[in-house]
Amino acid sequence: MANPLSNLPQRLLGKTKAIVKLMIRRARQLIQNSRGRYHGLSNEDVISYQAVTSPLTQINLHGRQIVNSMDFLPDKYSLSGSDFMQGPHVDFAKQYVQRGDDPSWDYTQTTYYQLALQGRLPFPIIGECQARMRCQKFIWMIEQLRRHGYQPKTFGAIVVVPTTEGNWMVINGKHRMAAMIALGHTNIDVFIGFDNEVRAQFKQLAESVWPRSTYSRSFEAMESLGKVNREKAGEIQELIQQIKQAKLETWANIYHPLPFYEFGNLTTQVSPDTSYKRLQMILDAADGDVVDKRVLDLGCNLGFYSFSLANRGAKVTSVELRSDYHDISKRIVELYDMNVRFRNDSLTPELVNEVGDVDITLCFSMIQWVIDQQGMDYGKQILKTISERSRLLLFDVSVNHGAACLLCPGGQELVYVYDFLADATTYTDIQCIGQVHPYGNDTRYVFACKHA
């Protein structure tokens, strides 16, 4: 009688081969499914540049190379990081401007149309009908720009981001940029975006693609983002080492991100998504325009919101009790020449009155510490003074979670914070505009408060 175990190695080898074949087939299917199809961005929890109108900076289109942004298509089809001037958008626009009145010109013969038909441009297209509609919308845009001019404050601005190589990467408004080039413009007003915000915008998308090696061009383009402060590189590196050695937080280098290229590798105690999500809420509540707005950032920590808003043209006063944070933030102001005034002070009604009338006040996850040390009445007195001095208050507070948190019956946190604000301030328009989860397992409701 044959030994049943004698064929065991051969059976195991056969099963292993079958599993490997299945895995290869599955990987090919995943790649095939993604091939020629753009991975769209989620509109949630990211900094949106779709309707940016200010502040605008004029750039020369021939002053430095313009490259395509990340499209997260497989490398074989990707335009990520490629020369925008030689790309399908500019080629189509130039052909239309030069030959659009010629009856023999057929846009379906352009590279742009062929790529759109195949789903290989950075927007979702399915089928011939949608590809034709996309081309016709492009033509309509070119005509609008030719007849009425570029109106960024009406239709949104072209957005570019600097790269470490000194190029401009187009993040939003590729069609407008291509049309402007085809129409002969050399100087154009753009919004210069920020590399840290763009990375945050693409983070979830970048983590979702598989296998990562198939999208190397997109990752290379994303990693090239950043405006490098070469003039003060040595001093910045010294400050980074100082931050690491200071052990400012329990399990990370810093509390929330610092929005500068050189500080991108520092770890953060709270989820970076929390900071960017709050920033988007601030911008939405301010209708996207903070140019020349007076901002008071209370409990600013190292100044993520202060720097992010100052970069957009706001005039910021920031208050932080911890002297180690304050000293680092002041040093960053000097290194990057930021329009932010940091104050190392306790939060009091007198301080709010001393700062004076402001357009926006930020008070995130810090009033509970004042109440813990000075009592509820004192905390409410501060909020009342803020409401008398600030047109808009962006606010959240820790309830039922974390040290020094406020307490209420479980499940009533949202109502509790609303009633707390209604009682403590003179604001008549109090709206919950979202929620954040700084530590993953807690919820903090963000409110926008203003006078109706």
Q: pLDDT tens-digit profile of 187-207?
A: 999 999 999 999 998 988 898
Burial of 398 (0-12, 13-18, 19+ CB in 10 A): buried
Q: In the listed set 187, 221, 255, which residue is the last one of a domain according to the structure?
A: 221
Q: Are residues 71 and 161 in the same domain?
A: yes
- 215 lies in the same domain as 244: no
Tokens standing for 29? 């299917």
Question: What are the structure tokens assigned to 418, written together?
Answer: 């609303």
| Total Cβ atoms within 10 A of residue 168 | 21
User: Helices (DSSP H) in 120-167: which residue ranges?
Assistant: 127-148, 152-155
304, 272 Cβ separation under 8 angstroms: no
Q: Which residues touch 413 (CB under 8 Å, ≥6 apart)?
A: 399, 400, 443, 445
What is the C-alpha separation between 235 and 331, in angstroms, rounded?
10
What DSSP state is assigned to residue 41? P
| Per-residue pLDDT at 6 | 59
Domain stops at, among 221, 246, 264: 221
Burial (0-12, 13-18, 19+ Cβ within 10 Å), 143: middle
Residues 80 and 167 placed together within one structural domain of the fold: yes
H/E element holding 423? helix 413-424
Q: Are residues 339 and 244 in the same domain?
A: yes
CA separation for the pair 97, 138 (Å, rounded): 12
On whether residue 52 sits in a domain, the answer given is no
- Band (pLDDT 50/70/90 cuts) for residue 150 is very high
Same domain assignment for residues 308 and 427: yes
392 Cβ contact list (under 8 Å, min separation 6):
285, 286, 359, 360, 361, 448, 449, 450
DSSP strands (E only) in 322-409: 340-343, 358-364, 390-396
Pull the structure tokens for residue 112: 């742009």
pTM of the model as a whole: 0.88
Residues 424-447: what's their mean pLDDT? 94
Asked whether residue 217 falls in the same domain as residue 122, the answer is yes
Q: How far apart are CA 360 and CA 293, in angstroms?
A: 7
The backbone torsions φ and ψ at residue 172, rounded to the nearest 5 degrees and listed phi first, read: -145, 140
Share of the chain above pLDDT 90, in %: 79
- CA dihedral 52→56→59→61, nearest 10 degrees, is 30
Give a yes or no: residue 178 inside a domain: yes
CATH code (residue 256): 3.40.50.150
- Structural domain contains residue 27: no
Residue 358 and residue 410 in one domain: yes
Cα 92 to Cα 83: distance, rounded to the nearest angstrom: 15
pLDDT in tens, 283-335: 999 998 999 999 999 999 999 999 999 999 999 999 999 999 999 999 999 99
Mean pLDDT of the chain: 91
Answer whether 343's CB lies under 8 Å from 317's CB. Answer: yes
User: Is pLDDT above 90 for 25?
Assistant: no
List helix spans (H) across 266-348: 272-285, 304-310, 323-336
- For 399-432, how does the pLDDT look when each residue is reduced to its tens digit (9 = 90+)? 999 889 999 999 999 999 999 999 999 999 999 9
Cβ contact 200:140 at 8 Å: no
CA-to-CA distance for 435 and 247, rounded, in angstroms? 29
Domain range for 336 is 233-450
Name the strand (E) or helix (H) holding 161: strand 158-162
Which of 15-24, 245-254, 358-367 has the weakest average pLDDT?
15-24
Total structural domains in the chain? 2
Domain assignment present for 248: yes
Same-domain check for residues 207 and 253: no
Those residues with Cβ within 8 angstroms of residue 369's Cβ, 6 or more apart along the chain or in another chain: 299, 404
**Which structure tokens are listed for 93?**
């626009």
Which residues are registered as beta bridge partners of 316?
295, 340
Amino acid at 233: A
Q: Is the dihedral of CA 194, 199, 204, 206 positive or negative?
A: positive
Instruction: Clarify whether residues 122 and 160 are in a common domain.
Output: yes
**Helix H or strand E encompassing 168:** strand 168-172
Of residues 111, 110, 129, 127, the one with CA closest to residue 119: 127
Same domain, 348 and 317: yes
User: Does residue 21 form part of some domain?
Assistant: no
- Same domain for 110 and 193, yes or no, is yes
Which one-letter amino acid corresponds to residue 138?
A: F
Confidence class of residue 59 from pLDDT cuts 50, 70 and 90?
Answer: very high
User: What is the spatial distance between Cα 398 and Cα 408, in angstroms, rounded to a whole number?
Assistant: 11
Q: Are residues 172 and 70 in the same domain?
A: yes
- Among 167, 195, 221, give the residue marking a domain's end: 221
At 143, the pLDDT band (50, 70, 90 cuts) reads very high
Strand 66-68 to 429-436 pairing: unpaired
Buried b (16+ CB within 10 A) or exposed e, 275-313: bbbbbbbbbebbebbbeebbbbbbbbbbbbbbbbbbbbe
Q: Is residue 46 part of a domain?
A: no
Q: Which tokens in the block code for residue 201? A: 């915008």
Residue 149 lies in a domain: yes
Residue 378 forms part of a structural domain: yes
